[in-house]
Amino acid sequence: MAQLLRLKRSKANILIQGIGTQSQNARESIHAKVRSRKENFPVSAEFLILPRITPELPASDIPIDHWKLPPNIFMADPQFHKRAPIDMILGIEHFCSFSQTANRINLPKPLPTLVDSVFGWLVSGTAGINPLPGKYSNRSIVAVSLFNLEESVERFWKVEELQTRSNYSLEEKQCEELFSTTTSRNAEGRYMVRLPRKPNFDELVGHSKSMALHRFNLLERRLDRNPELKEEYHKFMAEYLSLGHMRRAQADDDHHPDAYYLPHHPGCERSEFNDKGTSCL
């Protein structure tokens, strides 16, 4: 039915269980509106998509000539007695909204009962047919839809699970060893770890201080052209200092053999500073 009507589908993962704990997963769902041919009564609902709901019902055509149905009644399914496929099932949560159980017609036993609804009269009960020996078939539809939480969580962890490796490169092993041996906590309670360095580190980074000063001077000229932005930026950096996210370099840090100066390139615009945006330091 969903394919016939070309309805937009959504992904789903809902377990449907029936009698005998027979289960099947619905992987897709649709939102649709069902209207009555009799009254102005639309029902909006979510429908789960399955390859097949149930075998054709009833199991065989039912002769109704002797039923003596009341004349001029509007049947919800005029061909209810004809074997045909089931297109969709409305859940029990909608039954009270469209049925009028107070209005019913009791046909002579052992015939079924007619129940009024906004869709027309519904047929409920047995058909009063004597089955042939060995050919008896009484079909009912009972289904409960459950969100398969356990399976969803299991799939989530499989996606999020880190892939274990054993063939690490030499550099990767050195990085892991450096992390294990140098990670510590300082007097302020902050974790500290040394950054890994390549053997020819000094040649690769070049003269870091001169490049950082050049970037700093460019930033100062940019801020001089915009006093308001300069004021907001200075407030932002002062807050970083007060929170302990950075500290002023000491005079002797300049001659430290491991000193490296990061070029300062802010990554925020004026509006972002007003909203306490994050600067790239």
- Tens-place pLDDT, residues 34-46: 888 888 888 888 8
Mean predicted confidence (pLDDT) in 122-133? 72
Alpha carbon distance 90, 41 (integer Å) = 14
> How many DSSP H helices and E strands does the chain contain?
8, 9
**Closest Cα to residue 57, out of 41, 90, 80?**
80
Confidence band (pLDDT; 50, 70, 90) for 1? confident
- Residue 191's alpha-carbon distances to 120, 186, 258, in angstroms, are 73, 7, 19
Alpha carbon distance 212, 177 (integer Å) = 30
* Of 266 and 262, the one with more pLDDT: 262
SS3 167: coil
This prediction has a pTM of 0.44
Confidence band (pLDDT; 50, 70, 90) for 277? very low
Which pLDDT score, from 0 to 100, does residue 136 have? 47
pLDDT at 280 over 80: no
**Closest Cα to residue 25, out of 126, 166, 128, 147?**
147
